Structure formats: structure tokens, C-alpha cells
Amino acid sequence: MPKRIFDTAPRLTGALLGLVSAWLLVGCEETPRNMLDPAGDSAALSATFFNNLTILLSCIMLLVAAIFVYCLVRFRERKGDTSEPKQVHGNMAMEIGWTIVPTLIVIAITIPTLQAIFELEAVPEGDKVEIEVIGKQWWWEYDYINEGFTTANEMHVEVDTVVQINVTSADVIHAWWVPRVSGKRDATPGRIYPMYFTPTLVGEFDGQCAELCGASHALMGIKLFVHPKEGSNSYDEWVKKQKAVAVKPNTAQEKRGLALFKEKGCIACHVIRGDGETELIPRKARLATTGPDLTHVGSRTTIAAATLKNTRENLVRWIDDPLAIKEEAIMANPRFNANYDVSREEAEDIAAVRPLPSGPAPRN
């Protein structure tokens, strides 16, 4: 027996060291999806609520543990003492006490919970940025209905301005969630659920589909860009660029690319506003559009729902073989699009189409 313990000791030490170093590493890592580091009103509300609850429950736990330890010591078996401990069964004061105290605790938790729920559900006053959010396997469509354009995966909003998102789904249930800024909202087919939040910090925030939705659920990311109210990087400037139609192609390669875009059937699922062939789709039909609006795909920092950085090389890789990057990606999923066939050279021509970028093009 002792020998076996001796054998496992180094392994145990190794495992412990591993755990400790993993914990230390996590401590060093940036935590872009940390809901306890809020950058929006509704996330702040959740974080405060979570912190208060943790404090309350920790106090209760410490109190219970203290009483427990006290009892262990105070009422321990003493040598030679064989008498029965004092029996408390049916003690009215204790019965009432341990009925009332937990009830009070539950009430103390319920009241702020209900307050928070009503606060989150209330329709805020004032100007709003209103965006229709449609979850699709495995990306997000954003329709800026008042502005008249559509974009994907990367949502842009204005700091200190109420955002109203109307969330729905075109296929299965997804959930839209940017933990540092907002709560979660389910995207359910046939339903439109609104959610309101006000971002309070300028910056870039990461999110994630929070409802298991199929093979590439883990690759259904979100980015939320919160713009300042003024300056060259303001929300209004971004809107202005997105409203513009795509620039006409110039070079021979760009022209080849755009021709291929039509020949290869890309226009069955994608829109490029202003290319004369694929025009803005009426709102009603948007649920049925399969792929992201590509008018200003070049202005996004990532493609395929925050899966790849938006570089020329990655765009080529994606167009060449989407399935190698995202399992069952609808774009080339044999069940939906059995004939997807684009060579590396063709992908390079298509990725060169210059109308795609708008604003500071992040491609290299």
C-alpha cells in the first residue's frame, strides 16, 4: 500500500502544478467576454446583481460554516460522558426560526431580481439605434432598417445611445450575446424578441452565439463596435460609408472576379449593392437570404462570423474551401449547395473585387 501512494505522489504533484499554472495563465489572459467587467448598462446591472448575490451568499455560507465548526467543537463527544445530548425535536422557537430566516433570504433575493427584470424589459426613452438581428447557421445578419442597409456579424452602434435589437432566427434557435455590454437574447424562428441596451464605453467587444445550434455553433462569433458620437470614427461616419453602394470594379482581375461572382452562383446567396445585378433585397425576403450582404465585406475586421481575420489571404482560403474552415458551412454544404466548386485561382480573382471594401480596408 505505501508503495502505491509513493508511486502516485509525483503524478499528483504534477497534476496540481498543472492546475496551478493553468489558473495563473488564465489570470494573465485577457478576458474579452468577462460579464463582470461591464461596458454597457444592462451588463452592469447583471454584474452588480451577481456581485451582490455572491456577497450575500458568501456571508450565509461563512455563518453556516462558523456555526457548524462551533457545534463540532462545543458538542464533541467527551471521555466518560455517556449521557444523551439535549433533545430539541419540536422546539417551537427553532422551528419558527429556520422557517422564517430562509424565507427572508428568498425575499431578499426575489425583490431585486424582479426589479432588475422590469428594468431590463422597460422600453427606454429617447433616440434609438434599431437593428433587426437574424440568426442564421452560422452567422448573424444585421438589418439597419431605418438606414436601409444590411451587414453581418460585426454590429456597430453609438456610445451612450440606446440600442434596440429585434432578434429572430431563420433556422434553428440561436442566442445573441455580447457579455460585456448586454444580456442574452434568444433568436427563435417565427418570433421577434426585442432587447435594449446602452453601451457606455467606446471600443470593440466580443460576443458569441449562446445557444447550441449545430456543427459550427462554436464558430458563430459576434463583434460589437461602439463608436464615439463625434469625430472621424463616429457612428454617423460609419453609417455614411455603409449606405454607399459598392464601387465599380476597375482592373482586369477585378472584372474577372465580379464575372466569376455571377457565374459561380454566389449571387444566389449574396448581395452586392450597386453591381447592377444583385440589389438590396426587400425586407420581407431577408429571412430567406442565405449568405451575408457582401457590399462592404471589406470594411469588416473578420469574416465567417469572427472566425478568420479579414485578410486577402483568408478571404481566398474561405472562398476556395469554406468547409475546411467551418464544418458544414452552408456556403458549400453538400446538402444545400452540392455544386460548390471554386479553384484557388478563381478564389483569388473574386477576392480581388475592389467594390467590396469600404472605409479603412483591413485587408493586406
Which residues lie near Cu ion (CB under 5 A)? 174, 209, 213, 220
Using rule CB under 6 A, residue 150 touches ligand HEC: no
Using rule CB under 6 A, residue 331 touches ligand HEC: yes
Number of CB atoms found within 10 A of residue 177's CB = 20
Residues in contact with 237: Cβ distance below 8 Å, sequence separation at least 6, in sequence order: 227, 231
Q: CB under 5 to 8 A by kind: which of ligand HEC, Cu ion, none does 174 bind?
A: Cu ion
Terminus-to-terminus CA distance in the chain, angstroms? 64
Using rule CB under 6 A, residue 326 touches ligand HEC: yes
Is the Cβ of residue 167 or residue 258 nearer to ligand HEC in the bound state? 258
Binding mask 211-250 for ligand HEC (x = CB under 6 A): -----x----------------------------------
Q: Tell me which H or E stretch contains 227.
A: strand 221-227
60 CB-side CA count, 13 A: 13
Using rule CB under 6 A, residue 303 touches ligand HEC: yes
Q: Of the candidates 33, 128, 217, 264, which one interacts with ligand HEC according to CB under 6 A?
A: 264
Q: Tell me which H or E stretch contains 4.
A: helix 2-28
Q: Tell me which H or E stretch contains 170.
A: none
Q: Of the candidates 165, 342, 349, 352, which one interacts with ligand HEC according to CB under 6 A?
A: 342
CA distances, 353 to each of 150, 194, 256, 278, 345 (Å) = 19, 36, 8, 15, 13
183 CB-side CA count, 13 A: 20
DSSP state of 302: E
Determine whether 151 is exposed, middle or buried from the number of CB atoms within 10 Å of its CB (0-12, 13-18, 19+). buried
Q: Of the candidates 168, 182, 198, 337, which one interacts with ligand HEC according to CB under 6 A?
A: 337
Using rule CB under 6 A, residue 309 touches ligand HEC: no
Using rule CB under 6 A, residue 209 touches ligand HEC: no
Is the Cβ of residue 186 or residue 293 nearer to Cu ion in the bound state? 186
Using rule CB under 6 A, residue 269 touches ligand HEC: yes
Shortest CA distance to 265 belongs to which of 325, 326, 319?
319
Binding mask 152-191 for ligand HEC (x = CB under 6 A): xx--------------------------------------
Is the Cβ of residue 167 or residue 351 nearer to Cu ion in the bound state? 167
Is the Cβ of residue 176 or residue 196 nearer to Cu ion in the bound state? 176
Q: How far apart are CA 48 and CA 85, in angstroms?
A: 45
Applying CB under 6 A, the span of 44-52, 65-73, 102-110, 329-337 interacting with ligand HEC comes to: 329-337
Number of shown-chain residues binding ligand HEC (CB under 6 A): 32
Tell me the DSSP string of 106-141: HHHHHHHHHHHHHHHHSPPPS-EEEEEEEEETTEEE
CB of residue 361 to ligand HEC, shortest distance in Å: 14
CB of residue 310 to ligand HEC, shortest distance in Å: 8
CA 81 distance to own-chain centroid: 63
Residues that bind ligand HEC (CB under 6 A): 138-139, 152-153, 216, 261, 264-266, 268-270, 290-292, 294, 297, 300, 303-305, 315, 318-319, 326, 329-331, 336-337, 342, 350
